[in-house]
Amino acid sequence: MGDLKQYGLVRAQERLRDQVGHALRAALIAGELRPGQVYSAPGLASDLGVSATPVREAMLDLAREGLVEPVRNKGFRITEVSGRDLDQYTELRTLIEVPTVGRIAETADRARLEALRPVAEEIVSRARDHDLIGYLEADRRFHLALLALSGNDRLVETVGELRKRSRLYGLTALDEAGRLVTSAEEHLELLDLMAAGDARGAEECMRRHLGHVRSLWADDTHDEPPAPNRTPSTGSREPAAPGRPPSARSGEPSARPGLAAL
C-alpha cells in the first residue's frame, strides 16, 4: 500500500506544479513579473502560498519554453523579447498560418469549422469583459484547433511554440483603449470566410490579423516594457483572492500587486 500512497502524492504534486505554472503564466501576461528581473523560487512560493518545490519545477518548465532563464544561486530571470524577435516570430507565423488557413478553407468539413465558432465568440466576450488571461487562452485554443484541421501535428506544435515565445506585453493599456475587441472580432470574420470556402479571403484575413497582433506588440514593446496601470481580470480561471506582490529580493524591484495565491 505504501507504493500506492506514494503514487497519489506524486499525482497531487504534479497537479500543484501545473497550477503554479498557470499562475506564473498569468503573472507574465499581466506584466506582474517583469522582463529582465530575477525572482527567487522561495519568494514566489511565499507569494503563492505554496512550497518552493512546485514553483521551482514550474519555472524550469517555463525555462524550457524560453520564457525564463535560470540564474545561478539567485533564481530565474524573465526573458526579454526584442522588437526584432517579434518581427521574426510574426514572419514565421505568417509563412505557416496564412497558406494553411487557405488550404483548410478549401478542404475542411464545414461542420468542423463551425464547431470552432463558440471559441471565436468566447475570444470576443473575454476581450469585452477585460479578461486578458481568458482572452489569450481562448485565442490559443482557437488558433491551434483551427490549424489542427490541417492534419499536421508538427505544424500545430511549431506554431504553439512560437506563440509561447511571443507573449504580449502591456495588454492592459491596449485593453483600456478598446483595441483588443477589434482584434478579437477578426476571429469571427476569419471563420466566416473559411466556412464560405473563400480561401483567398481567409488568407488575407489571417495576414491582416497577424499584422494587427504585431502592431499591438509594437505599441507597447520597448527595451524595458512599461508596467501596466491596472491588473486585468482573470475571470473564472484564476482564484479570486489576490496574493501579496512578489517582494524585492537581492535588490530586485517589486512586481505589481495581484499575483494570485493558489
- The Cα 194–Cα 54 span in angstroms is 42
Q: Are 242 and 30 in contact (CB under 8 A)?
A: no
Nearest to 35 by CA among 260, 227, 261: 227
pLDDT one-digit tens code per residue, 79-133? 887 888 888 988 999 999 999 999 999 999 999 999 999 999 999 999 999 888 7
Nearest to 209 by CA among 121, 108, 98: 98
pLDDT one-digit tens code per residue, 216-259? 655 544 444 434 333 333 333 333 333 333 433 433 433 333 45
Whole-structure pTM value: 0.68
- The Cα 216–Cα 210 span in angstroms is 10
